[in-house]
């Protein structure tokens, strides 16, 4: 375990301090972190906390009086991005399906996977990637932006390469799709909940919080903890804060979040490759679900084969492919809504696409 942690004592100044000399910020929990890992304690020795973060995130650290110098926490970063978001407009024919999701990586694999993702884009441009170029799923699939003038086959191959890297590195994928027409049909009779059930983003966010908490607890080991990194969606910032606060502090104590220790946003002006690849994953999922649920009847066979092939690779990295149970009376409304409006593949989908 590292004997030092890297923190910002004040905005704009980096210092390396030993855990015993580390002091909390003015609110006793927050630092803007440049990097580092290890167990640290407050000046009075009463508060211990685990620090495990990466460049470019603003975090609030989880305070834990039970932490000891011998403990080790295996941190996992779960990314969330959205596609097909039209707010409360559920009648947009161009975007009939909403998807929220992304990829999950461990702290130890974070840097090497980032290098693999960057390398794939560098190789696509023969080592001469345009300055500031980012992977945008819509641009890649539609051959526009930095991908203008490139062939469809080579763009499709790059998408498959990213999915292959996820599989080769053993990373998990999580997502939930919402059929907006089904949601619109249920709006009038939507049951009460601690958030607005009629907003696809909020319904999906609440579900994936449960999914990531469950995945961390059941599949990643006793020492595992998760941090959710959300691509900012300003119009839902207040509601997201309300949901996370309720799930951590106000709900039934036995069902409060314990393994999902923090939520944060990227602060880089250029989106991190993990966010970019999460964007690609959920874009491909949305396109397949639109096709699978007969919203795109005129698509050519080549497009159908491409999106089905991508979806097959994606779903193979998803632990639970049916809805996990939403436990507790406070989640009954959300669970019922999800069962009614989830967009997913139909039985026999692989056979229909020759997979």
Question: Among 20-24, 35-39, 333-337, whose mean pLDDT is lowest?
Answer: 20-24
> Whose CA is closest to 87, among 236, 284, 190?
236
Q: Can you say how many angstroms the Cα of residue 96 is from the centroid of all Cα atoms in its chain?
A: 21
Distance in angstroms (rounded) separating the CA atoms of residues 194 and 105: 30
Distance in angstroms (rounded) separating the CA atoms of residues 291 and 270: 31
Question: Among 29-43, 197-211, 236-250, 326-340, whose mean pLDDT is lowest?
Answer: 29-43
Residue 67 has pLDDT above 70, yes or no: no
| 76-352: CATH, from 3.30.70, 1.20.120, 1.20.1250, 3.30.420 | 3.30.420
Q: For the residues of 240-265, what is the DSSP string, one character each? A: HHHHHHIIIIIS-GGGS-SSEEEEEE
End-to-end CA distance of the chain: 46
Taking a C-beta distance cutoff of 8 angstroms, is the pair 97, 178 a contact?
yes
Q: CATH 3.30.420 occupies which residues in the chain? A: 76-352
Tally the C-alpha atoms within 13 A of residue 174's C-alpha that lie toward its C-beta: 22
Residue 225 has pLDDT above 90, yes or no: no
Read off the pTM: 0.80
pLDDT of residue 16: 31
* pLDDT, average across residues 163-184: 97
Instruction: Identify the band that residue 231 occupies on the pLDDT scale cut at 50, 70 and 90.
Output: confident
Taking a C-beta distance cutoff of 8 angstroms, is the pair 73, 54 a contact?
no
Residue 6 has pLDDT above 50, yes or no: no
**Interhelix angle 152-168/301-315, nearest 10 degrees:** 10
Taking a C-beta distance cutoff of 8 angstroms, is the pair 287, 299 a contact?
no
Q: What is the DSSP secondary structure assignment for residue 353, as one 8-state letter?
A: T
More confident residue, 348 or 72: 348
Instruction: Tell me the residue ranges of DSSP E strands in 184-233.
Output: 224-230
Distance in angstroms (rounded) separating the CA atoms of residues 352 and 322: 20
**Interhelix angle 273-292/152-168, nearest 10 degrees:** 110
pLDDT of residue 233: 84
């Amino acid at each position: 375990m590292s004997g030092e942690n890297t923190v910002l004592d004040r905005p704009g100044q980096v210092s390396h301090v030993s855990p015993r000399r580390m002091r909390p910020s003015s609110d006793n929990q927050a630092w803007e972190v440049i990097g580092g890992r290890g167990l640290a304690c407050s000046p009075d020795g009463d508060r211990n906390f685990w620090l495990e973060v990466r460049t470019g995130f603003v975090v609030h650290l989880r305070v834990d009086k039970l932490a000891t110098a011998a403990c080790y926490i295996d941190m996992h970063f779960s990314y969330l991005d959205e596609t097909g978001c039209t707010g409360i407009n559920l009648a947009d024919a161009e975007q009939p399906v909403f998807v929220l999701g992304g990829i999950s990586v461990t702290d130890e694999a974070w840097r090497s996977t980032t290098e693999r993702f960057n390398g794939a884009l560098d190789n696509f441009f023969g080592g001469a990637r345009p300055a500031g170029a980012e992977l945008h799923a819509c641009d890649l699939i539609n051959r526009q932006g930095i991908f203008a003038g490139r062939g469809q086959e080579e763009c499709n191959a790059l998408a498959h390469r990213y999915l292959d890297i996820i599989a080769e590195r053993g990373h998990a994928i999580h997502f939930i799709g919402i059929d907006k027409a089904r949601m619109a049909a249920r709006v009038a009779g939507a049951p009460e909940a601690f958030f607005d059930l009629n907003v696809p983003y909020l319904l999906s966010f609440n579900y994936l919080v449960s999914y990531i908490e469950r995945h961390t607890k059941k599949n990643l080991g006793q020492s595992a903890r998760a941090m959710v990194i959300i691509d900012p969606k300003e119009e839902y910032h207040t509601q997201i804060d309300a949901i996370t606060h309720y799930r951590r502090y106000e709900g039934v104590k036995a069902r409060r979040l314990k393994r999902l220790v923090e939520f944060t946003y990227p602060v880089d002006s250029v989106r991190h490759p993990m966010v970019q690849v999460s964007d690609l994953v959920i874009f491909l999922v949305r396109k397949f679900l639109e096709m699978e649920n007969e919203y795109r009847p005129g698509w050519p066979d080549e497009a159908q084969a491409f999106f089905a092939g991508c979806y097959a690779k994606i779903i193979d990295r998803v632990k639970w492919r049916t809805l996990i149970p939403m436990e507790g009376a406070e989640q009954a409304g959300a669970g019922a809504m999800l069962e009614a409006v989830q967009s997913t593949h139909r039985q026999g989908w692989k056979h229909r696409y020759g997979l």
